[in-house]
Structure formats: structure tokens, C-alpha cells
Chain A
Amino acid sequence: MADPEDLKPGDEVPSRPPPRHKLHSGLGLLLRWESLLVVMLGATIAYGASVSPYFLQSTNLFYICLNVGEVAIMALPLTLIVITGEIDLSVASMLGLCGVAMAELFKHGWPIWPAMIAAVLLGAVLGAFNGFLVTRVGLPSLAVTIGTLTLYRGIAQGILPTDTIGGFPEHLTNIGVVPIPGTHVPYSIAFFGALAVVFAVVLHATPLGRAIFAIGASQEAAFFAGIRVKRIKFWLYVLCGMLSGFAGVLWTLRFASARYDAAIGQELYVVTIVLLGGISIFGGRGTIAGVILAVAVLGCLQTALTADLVPAQDQQIVVGALLLASVIVPNAGDLYRRTRDRLRSAEARRHRAGPVQAESP
């Protein structure tokens, strides 16, 4: 692959992992990451059904959905950010801060709807701050969002240190506990579903989506094709903040109270969903379908574990392990290939050394 004149000695052939979906045969389709997720989902449901006879009942499905709703919503914009090769670890903190802001405004006499809208707008501002630091100041997104993870949560804690704020109108807090009338679908997951469709269309079928993939696959080539790399990244951060703020509103309504530590540590779940969904941590690869499946897997798994009386800490181990597995497994093929190449090269060397030595006097 390497053009002779372009490689400097310091350069390595780019160490991007090989594409996951290289094969295009029927076998390739079977080996797609999404297929793996479907199998995992089946296994998780089977496990859930085996520990609880009620697992597949509609009320239980309602609770499965309810548990992952907000996290799933945040996973969508994060998916786009990860595809461009960046990261946002501050999602859960934005959720927390926006929830607190909404409650504070409500407590200070704002009507509930303006307070909710303000919370979503605040999320956009928080996201814009992340985006500004990453795209305009040029700081690494990892360091920036570790910083804002602490900063945003810290501000929430500063505003609302110990107490909780409640007393929201009941017809609104109800959406966190009752399904949409006539169905068994909670509101949050319905929002997720609608958003997921929009995201899927945008990502997979519009010029913007194509640009997002191009940025992640090769930022330089994308720029040379006239794609506005910085602008797109900035607005993705804004979007991520906005939807995190929206998730904050939903979260606050679901628990009918706001606390500074709402969803603390949930960035683990959001990042896990994104990476389990087959989005490459190196950017440029993944599908919304994968993310939707990952939401389903994680939701079912959590509920099944709870039904199996596995305590919360142990569930954290499982989710953490899932996160590691979802980055190690796609790299395993690469690891295998590297080892094989090394062995081959050693063999070739022996092979080559033979006849040449015979030649020398």
C-alpha cells in the first residue's frame, strides 16, 4: 500500500484498525458487528427470561425502557462525536447541571415550561463551551471534557449542595412513571426512538452524515474535499449539550426531584452504549442501528441482572467489562494479524538469508 516516496522513516503505516466490515459476502454480513449484537440481545433476553418469568411481560419491558431512556438519548449525539474521532465525557455532568438549573429556576418562580426550555438551552451553551475549547482553542477533547465533567458537576454541586428540589407539576412528573397512553412505551424511550430515526437518516443518508464519517476517517482528506471540519465538530458538541440538557429535564421529571448528583457516573453507560454499538473509538465507522441494538442489550442486561438480584456494584463490573470487550474484540483481529505478520517476516528473513549466504564467498 505504501507509496515509496511518501513514507518517512518516522512514519508508520497508519495503525488504524482494519475495517470491521471488510467482507461483503454473505459470510461477511453474518460477521457484521450488528449481527453479533442481535445474538447478544437474544442471549440477554434468554437470560432474563430464565431468571424471571415476568421478564418478557409488557410492564417489565416498560421498566427496561424507562431505565435506559435518558442515557440512550445522550448516546445519540455522542455517537456522532465519536465518529468524528472526538469524545465527550461530560454528558452526565451536563445532564446533572441542566436538571439543577431547571429546578432552581422553577423554585424561583419560573413557570415550568420556560424553565425546561431554559435547561435545554443551558445544555446547548455548555456543549458550545466544550466545542469552543476543542475546535477553536484546539485542545484535546479528552482533556477538555474531563475538565468540564468535573466543572459542570461542580457547579451543580455549588448551586444545590445537599438538598433536593421537587414539587414539579404532577402531569409532567407522570411522564417519568407512566407510559404513553394506550401503549407500554415510556416517554423517554419514545423521544429516543424518534430522535434515533432522525439521527439514522442524517448520519446515513445526508451530506452532513457523509461529512461526519469523512472527518472521522480522514480529517485532512475531508478538509481537502471542502468539508467544514471545525464548524461541524462545534455544532455536534452543541447538539450533544442540548440533548444532555433535554435528558436532564427528563431525568428530573422521572425522579420528580433535582439533585446535583443526578446520573453521576452515567457517562460510563453512555460511552459503553456507543462503543458496544460498534462505533470505532478511532472514528469514521459505525451505525445508528448498532447503537440502538446496544441500548437494547444494555437495557435488558441491566434489568435481567436486577431480576437476578445482582447488586448495583456488580452490574457496574459487568458494564465496565462490556466496555472493555467492545474495544478489545474488534482489535483482536488486528492483534492476530500483527502477530502473524511478525512470524511471517521472521520466516521470510530465514528464507532470504539462506540463498544469499550461499552466494557469498
Chain B
Amino acid sequence: MTTIAEEKAVREPHTSSHHVAEILLRFRELGIVLALVLVVVGAAIVNTNFVSLTNVQQILSGAAIIALLAIGETIVIITRNVDLSVGSVLGISAYATGVLYVHHPHVSLPVVFLVACGVGLACGIVNGAVVTIARVPSLVVTLGTLYIIRGIDGAWAGGNQVNASMLPTSFNRIGYGTVAGIPYLAIIAGVAVAIATYAMRSFRTARDFYAIGSDPPAARLAGIPVGSRVFLAFVLSGGIAGIAGAVWLSLYGSVDAIAGVGYEFQVITAVVVGGVAIFGGSGTVLGAALGALLLNTINSALDVVNISSFWTSAIAGALLIAAIAFDRLIAVRVAPALRTRRSSRG
């Protein structure tokens, strides 16, 4: 039986290259933290003001908004979909919050956040319903709602603006307040990310998201209600973007029709840089949040090293492409081992 030895030679799985790839994937968060440290140290050497309290606070507050949006976007992308409408949802919810205060100056904070969340949920329901019931690719649906929601926002706001003076101090303080030097916003985002990270690990529904993105037909076969889970992902993304809208208003203090324009690209970049696979199935909320922090830190560092902030969006785009190309290269590394086995079957 000479075949045994030969068969082994041909079919020996290449486990070593697989392990390298797995380490890279598993420690993605560590890599981002490392990159973060490098950027901070580099920028601090050029200009010590970079690590001044106010600058750090600014970076954290800005990153907090993107990190919040990234939570919802992560869930959607994990299910192998995409939500391009988050920026518009943030915008309309921020404006709704402002208008609410204009008409009811004494409304309580929880009500404000409930309203903001509700606006977002409504948008998420529309996205989710069209994607799951009409079975239209989420890219097209959310590209459409990106402009529809922005259009509604614009029609509603017209040329009007809600200013900080129209907002109560208790609300504004969310934006600029700090505890022991840490901005409220960073704490809010931190807590939200922690809860989401835990939840994504600990609930069946959350694991279903991963299963769906990992292999949709297999998920259906395993009895997972794919449609309703994807719907839920869009609703969650909408709701979170709604809340992020209220938070955004508290940070910037004024809102008009163009709040949050272009945020969707920053958010998707943060999520993908944070290690969430664009094809779904893997990634963590924590990684996405770190991605948001890295993105914001780089932008701020550019200022310090005298590169105009006008390059911000170019860098976001380059990072996004680099991140997916990186993921792809790892996948290609793993592939030969898989191919050897797969091609040996009928």
C-alpha cells in the first residue's frame, strides 16, 4: 500500500501558516493599540501640546461619537450587510433633539434621549424592512436612505440652526463636562462599548449575527431566523445612531441640516480598521471602537505635524483600503492550506 505515504505527503494540512494568521486576527486589538501608541508618541515628540489635557480630551470626545456609531455599524457588518445611512440618521436625530428643546425647554434628559433613540429606530426599521422583506442589497437601500433621510432633515431644518443658547446647560454639560479629566462623552462611549462587547459575546441573538455573516445558507439550515436577525441589526444600528445624534448635539452645541455629513465613511473605516471583516462573521465592538480612536488620533496628530486637516478624509480612505487589503492578504495566506484539502474532493 504505497498510497498511504503519498497521500499523507499530499494532504498534510499546513497548520503553521494558519496559526500565524490566526494570531494576527486574534490580536487585532493589540495591533491597533500599538499603532495608537506609536502615533501618540510620534506626535508628542514633534509637539508636546499633543498630549496636553485639552487635546487629549478633544480627541476622546470626537472619537466617542464615531465609536458609538461604530457599535451599530459593527453589528450590521457582522451580518454581512452595510449601513451607509448612519451619518444621516445622526444628523436628523441631532436636529430633532434641538427642535425638541426649542419647543419644550424643560424636557427631561431621559425623554430627550428616548426621542433621539426613537428617531433613529424609525430609520433603522425602514432600512431593515426594505433589506429583509424586499431582499434588496443593503448597499443600495442604505445609499438611498442616506440621501432620503438627509433630504428630510434638510427640508425640515431649511436654513435654520439650533444654537447652544437654545439648549439647557444640563444638556450642554454632557458635551464638555469631565470627571477626573475624562470627558463624559468618553465615559458614555466607553460604557456603551463595554456593554456591547459583553452582549455580543453572551447572548444567543448576538452569536446568531456572527453565524449569519459567517455562512448565511448554513445559518438558515441551522434554524436561525436570518431575516429577523438582520432586521434587528439594522434597527439596533438606527437606534444607536439616534442616540449618537443627541450626544453629537451636546458636544457641538449647534445643529443645522448638514450635521454628520460624511460620517458613514469614517465609521465604516473605523469598523474595518478595527478588524471587523467586511464580509461579515468576525470582529468585535471593542476593535471597532479602538479603530475610531485610532482614526481620530491620527487626524489630530496630522494637525500637530502641520499636515492640513483637509487631508483627513484622504487618510480615512487610504486606511480603509489598507485594512481590507491587509485582511485579504491574511486570508490568502490561509487559503493554500485550505485549497489543498478542498480541491481533493469531487
Q: Are A and B in direct contact (Cβ within 8 Å)? A: yes
Q: Measured between alpha carbons, how far is A332 from B265 in the docked complex, in Å? A: 31
B147 touches A268 (CB 8 A): yes
| B146 proximity list for chain A (CB < 8 A) | 268, 320
User: Is B113's beta carbon under 8 Å from chain A?
Assistant: no
CB distance from A263 to the nearest CB of B (A): 14
B313 touches A153 (CB 8 A): yes
User: Is B179's beta carbon under 8 Å from chain A?
Assistant: no
| B141 proximity list for chain A (CB < 8 A) | 324, 327
User: Is A158's beta carbon under 8 Å from chain B?
Assistant: yes
Kindly supply a per-residue 1/0 record for chain B positions 135-147, scoring 1 wherever the CB is within 8 Å of any chain A CB and 0 otherwise: 1110111011111
| B145 proximity list for chain A (CB < 8 A) | 320, 324
CB distance from B219 to the nearest CB of A (A): 10
Closest to B150 in A: A316
Choose among A12, A137, A151, A162 the residue that contacts B217 (Cβ–Cβ < 8 A). Answer: A12
B324 touches A313 (CB 8 A): no
B136 touches A143 (CB 8 A): no
Task: Known A137-B325, A147-B321; judge A154-B315 contact (CB<8 A).
Answer: yes
B155 touches A154 (CB 8 A): no
B144 touches A324 (CB 8 A): yes
CB distance from B295 to the nearest CB of A (A): 11
Task: Known A15-B135, A139-B328, A281-B136; judge A317-B155 contact (CB<8 A).
Answer: yes
A148 touches B314 (CB 8 A): no
Q: Measured between alpha carbons, how far is A327 from B257 in the docked complex, in Å? A: 28
B148 touches A320 (CB 8 A): yes
How extensive is the interface on chain A, given as a class? 35 or more
Q: Measured between alpha carbons, how far is A143 from B276 in the docked complex, in Å? A: 12
Task: Known A137-B328, A140-B279; judge A328-B136 contact (CB<8 A).
Answer: yes
B14-22, B94-102, B304-312 - interface stretch? B304-312
A313 touches B151 (CB 8 A): yes
User: Is B294's beta carbon under 8 Å from chain A?
Assistant: no
| A94 proximity list for chain B (CB < 8 A) | none
- Which residues of A115-165 have CB atoms within 8 Å of chain B's CB atoms? 133, 137-140, 142-144, 146-155, 157-158, 161-162
Kindly supply a per-residue 1/0 record for chain A positions 146-186, scoring 1 wherever the CB is within 8 Å of any chain B CB and 0 otherwise: 11111111110110011000000000000000000000000
Choose among B134, B316, B321, B324 the residue that contacts A335 (Cβ–Cβ < 8 A). Answer: B134
Task: Known A314-B155, A327-B140, A331-B134; judge A143-B147 contact (CB<8 A).
Answer: no
Specify the main secondary structure of chain B where it touches its partner: helix
| B180 proximity list for chain A (CB < 8 A) | none
Task: Known A150-B269, A314-B155; judge A144-B324 contact (CB<8 A).
Answer: yes
Q: Measured between alpha carbons, how far is A153 from B261 in the docked complex, in Å? A: 14
| A148 proximity list for chain B (CB < 8 A) | 317, 321
| B136 proximity list for chain A (CB < 8 A) | 281, 324, 327-328, 331
A151 touches B143 (CB 8 A): no
User: Is A359's beta carbon under 8 Å from chain B?
Assistant: no
- Which residues of B289-346 have CB atoms within 8 Å of chain A's CB atoms? 308, 310-318, 320-321, 324-325, 328, 332
Q: Measured between alpha carbons, how far is A317 from B92 in the docked complex, in Å? A: 14
A143 touches B314 (CB 8 A): no
User: Is A334's beta carbon under 8 Å from chain B?
Assistant: yes
- Which residues of A9-58 have CB atoms within 8 Å of chain B's CB atoms? 9-12, 15
Closest to B215 in A: A10
User: Is B107's beta carbon under 8 Å from chain A?
Assistant: no
List 15 extra interface pairs beyond A146-B268, A324-B148, A335-B133, CB under 8 A: A12-B220, A143-B278, A143-B320, A146-B265, A151-B316, A154-B313, A155-B314, A157-B310, A158-B311, A268-B147, A317-B155, A321-B144, A327-B141, A332-B134, A334-B135
* Closest A-B pairs by Cβ, 9 of them: A154-B314, A313-B154, A151-B317, A150-B317, A154-B313, A317-B151, A316-B151, A320-B148, A161-B310
